[in-house]
Amino acid sequence: MKPRLALGLALLVAVPLVGNSALLALPADPPAHRHSIEPIEESDVPSEAEIHQYDDLSPEARHVIDAALASSDGHTTVTGEANRPPEFHYSDYAQYGSGMYVIEKGGTYYELTTYAGTSIDVRPIQRGLFVALGFAVVFVGVAGYRAGMGYVPVVVAVAAALPLLPVLAGLYRSTDAAVLLGTLGALGVCLVGGLLLAWTWVHGQ
C-alpha cells in the first residue's frame, strides 16, 4: 500500500482509539449479593448466634431464603441495592451476626451465609490503553509515511483495530478481558513496528 494511504488508514483507526471515552461509557454492573443456606440441628446453633425468626424478616430477606432453599445447591444471588435484604451484611468475611445468620423457619434451623459479589472495573485501564495505542498508531503511521514504508503502518493499524471491533459492536461487556489482551498485543505490534522503522531510518542514513 502507498505510504499516504497507509497513513490515512492509521489515522482512521487512531481517532476512535483516542476518543474511546464515549465508546466505553457503559453503566457499571449492579452489585451482586450472594447467599448460601443449609439446615443445621438446633443443638449445633452456637450460643453467641442470634436466632432470626423467618416471619420477622424483611420481604427481601424472605425472598432470598426461599430462593436458596428452592435451588438445587442452596445458593442464590440477587443484584442491585433495591433487592438487597437490609438486615444482612455482605463482605468477603463472615462471622455470626455479620455475614452468618441462624434462621428458624417452620421449626427447622438454617445457617445462612452472605457474600459480596465484587468485580474489578477495568474500563479506566482500558481507556488509558486505548489512548496510548491510538497515539502509537499515529506515530508509526507518520514514521512509515516519512520512511516510505506503507506496509508497517498497515500491519499496525490492523492489529490496533482488532481489539476495537468488539467495542464498536457493543460487545465490550462480555469481551472485556479479550479486548484488554488484544490491546496489549497491539501495543506490542506498535513497538515492533516502531523499532523496525527506527532501524530502517538509522541504517538508511
Q: What pLDDT sits at residue 204? A: 61
Instruction: Of 47, 48, 68, 65, give the one whose Cα is nearest residue 56.
Output: 65
Split into its structural domains, the chain has a count of: 2
Do both 102 and 126 map to the same domain?
no
Do both 40 and 22 map to the same domain?
no
Q: What pLDDT sits at residue 37? A: 95
How much is the average pLDDT of 63-71? 94
Do both 128 and 81 map to the same domain?
no
Q: What pLDDT sits at residue 48? A: 86
Q: What pLDDT sits at residue 27? A: 62
Q: Report yes or no on whether pTM surpasses 0.85.
A: no
| Secondary structure letter of residue 98 according to DSSP | B
Q: Which of residues 69, 84, 117 is at a domain's end?
A: 117
99-127 pLDDT per residue, tens: 899 999 999 999 999 988 666 667 788 88
Q: Is the pLDDT of residue 196 over 90?
A: no
At residue 47, φ and ψ (nearest 5 deg) are -65, -30
What does each C-alpha distance from 164 to 26, 41, 73, 97, 189 come to in angstroms? 15, 56, 39, 47, 15
**Residues sharing a CB contact under 8 Å with residue 64, sequence separation 6 or more, in sequence order:** 33, 35, 76, 78, 85
Which is higher by pLDDT, 173 or 159?
159
Do both 67 and 51 map to the same domain?
yes
How much is the average pLDDT of 73-98? 88
Q: Which of residues 93, 117, 141 is at a domain's end?
A: 117
Do both 13 and 47 map to the same domain?
no
Do 82 and 36 meet the contact criterion of CB atoms below 8 Å apart? no
Quickly state the pLDDT bin for 76 (edges 50, 70, 90): very high
Do both 72 and 14 map to the same domain?
no
Do 92 and 116 meet the contact criterion of CB atoms below 8 Å apart? yes
Do both 9 and 45 map to the same domain?
no
Can you tell me the distance from the alpha carbon of 98 to that of 49, in angstroms, rounded to the nearest whole number?
10
Do both 87 and 137 map to the same domain?
no
**What long-range pairs does 186-189 form, CB within 8 A, spacing at least 24?**
186/133, 186/156, 186/159, 186/160, 186/162, 187/129, 187/132, 187/133, 187/136, 189/155, 189/156, 189/159, 189/160
Do both 112 and 147 map to the same domain?
no
Do both 89 and 112 map to the same domain?
yes
- Which residue range is the domain that position 36 belongs to? 32-117
How much is the average pLDDT of 44-59? 92
How much is the average pLDDT of 81-101? 87
Q: Which of residues 66, 85, 117 is at a domain's end?
A: 117
Do both 105 and 37 map to the same domain?
yes
12-25 pLDDT per residue, tens: 888 888 887 666 66
Q: What pLDDT sits at residue 108? A: 94
Residues of the chain with pLDDT > 90: what percent? 31
Do both 39 and 108 map to the same domain?
yes
